[in-house]
Structure 1
Amino acid sequence: MSEKSIARTTATSTAGGELESTQGRTTIADTVVSKIAGLATKEVSGVYALGGGTARAVGAIRERIPGSSTNHSQGISVEVGEKEAAIDIQLVAEYGVAIADLAAGIRSNVIAAVERMVGLRVVEVNIEVQDVHIDSDDDHAEANGTGTGSGTGSGAGSEPRVQ
C-alpha cells in the first residue's frame, strides 16, 4: 500500500463535529471511504454485484477460504483529499432495472453516506456498469461450470456501428 493511499483528512463535517479540533485530529484512510461507498452502493435495489468479472471471481474464491471476510470495497476506488473525495464504482446491474435511475440512486446514497459518516465533500461519483445479470445466466453458468460474461463482438475486422 503506497503512502498516498492512506489519506489524512482535516475537513470540517457539515453534518456534525469536526475532524480536527483543539483536542486532536482524526485521520481517515481511503479504505474507510471505499467500504462506506461499497456498502452504500449495495443498499440500492438493482445492484447485483460490485466489481468487474475478475474482481468478482477473486472475491468468490476469497469468500470460500475459511475465516476470510467479504471485501466490501470490491469494485470501488476512491481519491481522498483534505476536504473532498472522488469515487469510482464498477458494478453489475440486475436485468430490468433502469440504469439511469439506478445510477442516480447510487450517487445519492453514496454521497449521503460518505458526507454524513466521514465529513468529506463528495465531488463526483463515477459509475461503470460492466454487465447486466440475468437469472438464466446463473443456470447456464452452473451447467457449463463457467461464470457470467457478456461477449459482444461484431466479427473480426468490421468497423463499429456507433461512435
Structure 2
Amino acid sequence: MAERPIKAAEAGNAPSGSSSGHSIQVSALESDKGRTAIADSVVAKISGIAAREISGVHDLGKGVSRAFASVRQRVPGGKPNVAQGVSVEVGERQCAVDLTIIVEYGVAISEVAHAVRENIIEAVERMTGLEVVEVNLSVDDIYIDMGDDDSSSGRSLQ
C-alpha cells in the first residue's frame, strides 16, 4: 500500500457520512465516557471476509503469500489468514483499504471490482463506524477451473 497520510480533515474533522452514499455515525467512536480505537488488523479482516463474499473472487494475495497460506492451512490447527492480500490505514474516524485479488476466469473484472468495493465499504462502515475513504483493488491473477473435483486442480496464470 502506498504511503499516504490521512489528512486532518479525513482523520477526524470531516462530517459524518461518506462520499459513497452510505451514512455512518462517526461520533460513535468517541463519547464523554471514552474513545474506541480500532486496530488495522480488525479492518483488514473485515475487508478480507467482505471481499471473499463476492462471486468471482477466487482468492486474495499475491502468488507467494497464497502458497505460504496454503501450506499453513494444511498444518494441523492451522487457520486461514482472512486478511491475506489486504493492507489498511486506519485513522481516528476514517480508513483506506488496498487489496490484491485473484478473479475467476470469465467474470467481468470491472463488475467484480465494483461489487468488492461496495461490499467492503458497507461491512467496514457498519461494523466499525469508520468512514471508508477509498478501496483500491489490484487484480493480480486469473484463476482457471480445470474441471476436476479436487480444489487444487485449478490453475493460475503466471
Aligned partners of 1:106 and 1:48: how far apart in 2? 12
Q: Deviations over 1:128-155 (max 9, x none)?
A: 111111112979xx79xxx84434xxxx
Residue 38, structure 1, aligned to residue 54, structure 2: no
* 2:83 equivalent in structure 1: 73
Write the mapping of 1:37-116 to structure 2, written as runs, cut at 5 A.
37-116=47-126
Instruction: Name the TM-score, length of structure 2 as normaliser.
Output: 0.78
Aligned partners of 1:29 and 1:122: how far apart in 2? 14
SS at the partner of 1:69? coil
Letter of the structure 2 residue corresponding to residue 24 of structure 1: G
Letter of the structure 1 residue corresponding to residue 113 of structure 2: A
CA RMSD of the aligned region, Å?
A: 2.6
Unmatched runs of 5 consecutive residues or more in structure 1: 1-8, 152-163
2:157 to 150, 153, 162: 150
- Report if aligned partners of 1:137, 1:148 keep a CA contact under 8 Å in 2: no
* 1:160 equivalent in structure 2: none
Moved over 4 A (4+): 9-13
- Report if aligned partners of 1:138, 1:148 keep a CA contact under 8 Å in 2: no
Distance 1:53 1:60, change over 3 A: same
Instruction: Name the TM-score, length of structure 1 as normaliser.
Output: 0.76
Identity in percent:
49
* 2:134 equivalent in structure 1: 124
Aligned partners of 2:126 and 2:141: how far apart in 1? 30
- Report if aligned partners of 2:144, 2:155 keep a CA contact under 8 Å in 1: no
Unmatched runs of 5 consecutive residues or more in structure 2: 1-10, 18-23
Aligned partners of 2:98 and 2:52: how far apart in 1? 14
* 2:35 equivalent in structure 1: 25
Q: Deviations over 1:28-83 (max 9, x none)?
A: 10000000000000000100011110111010011011112111100000011112
